[in-house]
Amino acid sequence: MTVEEELRDVRAAASGDSAAFERIVREHQKNVYNLAFKLTGSEQDALDASQDTFLKAYQNLRAFRGESRLSVWLYRLTYNASMDIIKKSRRGKLISLSSDEEGAVPEMPDDGPTPDEQVERRERLEAVREAVLALDEDKRRILLMREYRQMSYADIAAALDLEEGTVKSRLARARAALAEILKKRGTISFDTQSKRQIDDKEARRHD
Amino acid sequence: MTDHEHFEELISLRLDGALDEEGEAELRAHLETCRECRELLALLTGVHDALSIEKDPPEALLRGVMEGVERAEKTSKTVKMRWTGIAAGALAAAAALAVAFLPHNAKTPDSDSGIAAYSSDTGTPVSLFPDTKIGLPGEPAVCGSVDDLTGIRAAAYFRELPADIAQTGPDYIFANGDVGYDVPEELLEAHRNEAVRIDTPDPAGAVCLAVLLSDQ
Ligand SMILES: [Zn+2]
């Protein structure tokens, strides 16, 4: 979708053309959903956050003036919607009666991750998220751009008005700081799997 | 740049698949001898892998959004009818009415905002519709939306009702911030857990004020 097409759809959707809004959702839902999943660590939360994002976007379309790309605007909404859900679930954890959830067997496609794997993945994503949130603003922003939104060096450089070389070194600093936090907290170990992979690579190299 | 920072950067580039052959050889030689960098690479590879997910969004996403859009359209049409009716009613008469007859135990909402809510956490009033003056005489019928209802348990809602317009039924405030009257049954049913009924203590009077207690 070009910028012009996008803006035309935004205008149409703002005046009640739901087909135009559906095109917008189809275009952006993958990015929105994946970002929400990486932040929340759960498919259900990611779905809720994505729906909140698009409904809020719909309610506020008239306020979108096209100064930034729609994707950037949606990114902010997704981030906020995900954080809202995270906050709520933190609160929920304190008061929820665990018996509610016991005995509930989640539906799972046969080839999907097992509940154990899901829990492990969620815990990892939560640990990484909390460490990212503990970073200072500059480091957090650049890590979100690269690791959560998969932006290229060039796009990050443009967004932050930096040279690409500066992006590379700042990203390296941010990653090192993140590793430091994760190591200190030691809540989740990433070592086993990654070491295995590296060892595998080494082994292959020696073949 | 210190040595350490240099290798941190090579590791970072490698994660992004942006390390050239020369750098790769240099890094590999260093990793042979530096345990700290081996651990850093392992940890960051784990992080990078955990975040390199690409899932297809479930079909329920689009479906749910479009259903929500449809509901929002219905609600906002309802709201528009309502306030248009009032604005077109007896503006002069309404303008003359003062804020009065508030229940003793109700806090007075910010008289400019028309609608106010009290944060249950702090008790401080927050405007639900910061940019609109809904229900004030002469204001057209556009309903704003509430930014965030989180933490709001009680909302006061008031408007000046022209004497010659009788209240026909209760208003509802929806979780998305829309306010409506004559709300169709099926819409209420769909919002059973989030639509809050506004009962007006003085249906025929000049000022209607209701304190909402949502079940949040
Ligand atoms: Zn080293």
The contacts of residue A4 (CB under 8 Å, 6+ apart) are none
| Whole-Å CA distances, A116 to A121, A122, A195, B167 | 9, 10, 21, 57
Share the mean pLDDT of chain B: 58
CB contact residues (below 8 A), chain B span 83-122, against chain A: none
How many Cβ pairs within 8 Å bridge chains A and B?
140
Q: From ligand 1's centre to the CA of B32, what distance in Å?
A: 9
Q: How far does Cα A6 stand from its chain's mean position?
A: 23
Q: From ligand 1's centre to the CA of B34, what distance in Å?
A: 5
Q: From ligand 1's centre to the CA of A130, what distance in Å?
A: 26
| pLDDT the model gives residue B71 | 83
- pLDDT tops 80 at residue A137: yes
| B133 CB-side CA count, 13 A | 10
| Whole-Å CA distances, A204 to A41, A51, A200, B13, B58 | 33, 45, 6, 22, 38
- pLDDT tops 90 at residue B108: no
Q: How far apart are CA B98 and CA A122, in angstroms?
A: 56
Q: Chain B contacts of A32, Cβ < 8 Å?
A: 57
Q: From ligand 1's centre to the CA of B199, what distance in Å?
A: 69
- Is the model more confident about B45 or about B186? B45
Cα angle value A71/A75/A79 (rounded, 5°): 170
Q: Which domains does chain A have, with CATH numbers?
A: 1-97 (1.10.1740.10), 116-207 (1.10.10.10)
For chain A, give the percent of residues with pLDDT over 70: 78
pLDDT in tens, A82-131: 998 998 776 544 433 333 343 344 444 445 677 888 888 899 999 999 99
Best mutation target among A32, A58, A149, A201 (most B Cβ atoms within 10 Å) is A58
The contacts of residue A150 (CB under 8 Å, 6+ apart) are none
CB contact under 8 A, B57 and A54: no
Q: How far apart are CA A184 and CA A98, in angstroms?
A: 30
Total number of residues shown for chain A: 207
| pLDDT the model gives residue B116 | 37
Please state which of the ranges A62-66, B30-34, B143-147, B207-211 shows the lowest mean pLDDT: B207-211
Please state which of the ranges A17-21, A173-177, B37-41, B127-131 shows the lowest mean pLDDT: B127-131
For chain B, give the percent of residues with pLDDT over 70: 33
| pLDDT the model gives residue B170 | 55
Instruction: Give ipTM to 2 decimals.
Output: 0.81
Share the mean pLDDT of chain A: 82
Per-residue pLDDT band at A2 (split at 50, 70, 90): confident
State whether the Cα torsion A41-A46-A48-A49 is positive or negative: positive
- Is the model more confident about B24 or about B180? B24
| pLDDT the model gives residue B188 | 66
pLDDT in tens, B126-166: 344 333 333 333 332 223 333 333 333 333 344 444 444 44
B47, B69, B150 member nearest A128 (Cβ): B47
Does residue B117 sit in helix, strand or coil? strand
pLDDT in tens, B9-55: 999 999 999 999 999 999 999 999 999 999 999 999 999 999 998 99
CB A74 within 8 A of CB A83: no
Does residue B210 sit in helix, strand or coil? strand
Per-residue pLDDT band at A68 (split at 50, 70, 90): confident
Q: From ligand 1's centre to the CA of A178, what distance in Å?
A: 17
- In terms of Cβ atoms closer than 10 Å to its own Cβ (0-12, 13-18, 19+), residue B54 is exposed
Total number of residues shown for chain B: 216
To the nearest whole Å, the CA of A14 is away from the closest chain B CA by 11
Tokens of A128: 């990484």
- pLDDT tops 90 at residue A21: yes
Cβ–Cβ contact B81 with A under 8 A: no
Q: How far apart are CA A61 and CA B147, in angstroms?
A: 14
B5, B54, B65 member nearest A34 (Cβ): B54
CB B133 within 8 A of CB B121: no
Does residue A127 sit in helix, strand or coil? helix
| pLDDT the model gives residue B133 | 33
